[in-house]
Amino acid sequence: MTNAISSLELDQVSIWLGGKQILSEVSFAIAPGEFTGLIGTNGAGKTTVFRAILGQIRPSGGKVIIAGRDRSKGDTSVGYVPQKVQIDPDVPLRARDLVALGLDGRTLGLSKRSVADKELIEETLVAVGAETIANRRVGTLSGGELQRVLIGHAIISRPQILLLDEPLANLDIKSEHEIVDLLSTITTDQNLSILISAHDMNSLLPFMDRVIYLAGGRCASGTAEQVIRTEVLSELYGFRVSVIHVDGRVVILADPPPMQAKNKVT
């Protein structure tokens, strides 16, 4: 990482919810233009990390720092693509309309589009490869097509960092690769930092500059070679975890300690 100010930094962030600790002193930093994977199984705390970055949860301890300043309410430097968006096919909302709505985040209601706005909308549709579906209703799009439009919606306001919550879930293999390749291109073209959450990292491995691996509310951060190792993940999980490379893919095999026998009731 260079000496430039990080696009995003979590400094010893801890979060308690409902009397349970979800995150424990989580720290990592993402440099401008880095493609970063937030990896972990369901329940590892990935969504909680996102909610903290988005300002939806106040950390119990530590800080969320964006572009060198503490996270503030209404910060527009963070773009976000949620995990699930369902729109009825009958809703008369076109793909271009959804992308354009990304310009209205700072205003109440819809704004009158200037010539510059209209040009930016068209440029964004092209940037995400959605120009050919621009006039289709959002509810009729395939999973991969919808992801492109949602990415366009999130980046049209030119954020410094883009969060994507499980964008590859429920996509076929071809669509997975197309979306990851698109995100990699956007990162390079716009010097945009990307943090993408996933439970399977294999589609991301060729593209990730950095990996943040979450387990048990703690994290390990670094390059894939530094983090995805037997000794690192074993320490993170608290029991033996084997990292195996098979045909260019990473397979993680857990060998948790046996459960203690229950006391007999007499």
At residue 254, the pLDDT reads 81
- pLDDT of residue 266 exceeding 90, the answer is no
- pLDDT of residue 261 exceeding 60, the answer is no
At residue 76, the pLDDT reads 77
At residue 73, the pLDDT reads 62
Q: Per-residue confidence at 193, pLDDT binned at 50, 70, 90? A: very high
HEC string of 49-107?
A: HHHHHCCCCCCCEEEEEECCEECCCCCCCEEEECCCCCCCCCCCCEHHHHHHHHHHCCC
> What single-letter DSSP state applies at residue 133?
G
Residues ≥6 apart with Cβ < 8 Å to 247: none
- Rounded average pLDDT over 159-182: 94
Give every strand in the sheet of 78-81, ordered side by side: 78-81, 161-165, 193-198, 35-39, 210-215, 218-222
Q: Per-residue confidence at 259, pLDDT binned at 50, 70, 90? A: low
At residue 37, the pLDDT reads 97
Percent of the chain residues past pLDDT 90, beyond the cut: 74
- When comparing pLDDT for 233 and 107, which is higher? 233
Q: Per-residue confidence at 264, pLDDT binned at 50, 70, 90? A: very low
- The amino acid occupying position 235 is E
Instruction: Give the chain's mean pLDDT.
Output: 89
Q: Are 138 and 93 in contact (CB under 8 A)?
A: yes
Dihedral sign, Cα of residue 100, residue 103, residue 107, residue 112: negative
Alpha-carbon distance values, 84 to 63, 180, 239 (Å): 28, 18, 33
* Domain 1-77+159-222, classified CATH 2.40.37.20, yes or no: no
Report pTM: 0.89
Q: Are 36 and 193 in contact (CB under 8 A)?
A: yes
At residue 108, the pLDDT reads 42
Element at 182 (helix H, strand E): helix 173-190
Place of tokens 């985040």: 105
> What single-letter DSSP state applies at residue 138?
G
At residue 260, the pLDDT reads 46
At residue 263, the pLDDT reads 42
Task: Return the minimum-mean-pLDDT range out of 100-114, 122-136, 233-247, 251-265.
Answer: 251-265
Residues ≥6 apart with Cβ < 8 Å to 75: 55, 66
At residue 82, the pLDDT reads 92
- When comparing pLDDT for 148 and 74, which is higher? 148
- Rounded average pLDDT over 130-138: 97
Return the structure tokens found at 46.
Answer: 């990935």
Q: So where are the chain's domains?
A: 1-77+159-222, 87-156
- pLDDT of residue 200 exceeding 50, the answer is yes
Q: Per-residue confidence at 65, pLDDT binned at 50, 70, 90? A: very high
